[in-house]
Structure 1
């Protein structure tokens, strides 16, 4: 070794630095750093051949080496990146985007749809690794929880629009419970608990029957499937950028 280790050096191991970024809340820096490292590793030029090899052996194996080099180049430039991206894409659907969600995430102000949620073209990139995809899928739903909730409502409304019978069945169920509430207040059914329990049981059975016949469950399942897929894709491809509260915190500092 030419240089001895300096005990006063400020360099830290890669794992310790990433852990410090994660604990400090600098997730956007960690996300960008992961993309930069993957780009640098993928663009590393191949190691040059040893010039000390003999010319005679080089001439004998010229044809074989050229064919093997071309096949290796094709595999390294096309097959391996495709398999890597395919594996990252498959791993998206094994992640749980709701693992870190709390009720406080839904009580915050809704982020801007244009600037924060959708962003621009450079706000998206394919996750470089499953760990980066996991970081985005866990953090973006916390930031855009209300946006994803509104998306589900939009998908559910579109599903009901495509299924008028389900919409009529849902409105009929709401009408049944509205009528039960009105009757309970008008006739004072609270004084007759047995009668009130019987009417509630009848309303529950009627609601279940109407929902099953009108196929409201298909509208719910369809909207859940579309909204969940949209959330997974958006959360995994959307880069982590400094949120509004982080920017305000930085200004106060």
Structure 2
């Protein structure tokens, strides 16, 4: 979806309309704390735009922890994550910390600012991975290999800094394919207190037992599961660049 040429609705105007509920979803009234946080972050307007629709307003995404809106901040189009009022997380501080760590490895959208109830991030424009795979566009086997390798490399980088994403088995809901390649999203379940399993989880999510795996078969051989399990096991015990590369060699038959 192309967001150029859109008209932004000012925050002041939204706060005087029923759409203010977007900023306190699924509640009805925006508290003074959230209004103050938006002002401090520099958010001046919100766009009615995105693939999801909530209360007659379009947004970029909706999850258990929050919804994501396209907003205007310092004249730029930015993604704003709004903490749901019924979320189990008391604030978005933990997610901000995890995304900051991921950004040190050039993984995830760049965090631009945060408060207890909001995250400001680079707007990642593209298609969800599943939609990209199902699309009518023509992509080559080389492009497919490149994108899957990039996803696995991002998972490897997270493993190296001890950050477990937590949702990579369902990577279709947590990745966007941009013109430069795929980007991992949503670090709401990420943690540094459990053993990271990003590469092993993502490999299983891509190649076995998910909605993605059957889509790869016409364009890819289906990796023999037993040898892959062996290499995943070796990687799990010794998550080095060498063991990771050996896994890639087997997955992509090179």
TM-score, normalised via structure 1 length: 0.21
Larger RCO (alpha carbons 8 Å, 6+ apart): 1
Structure number with the higher strand fraction is 2
TM-score, normalised via structure 2 length: 0.21
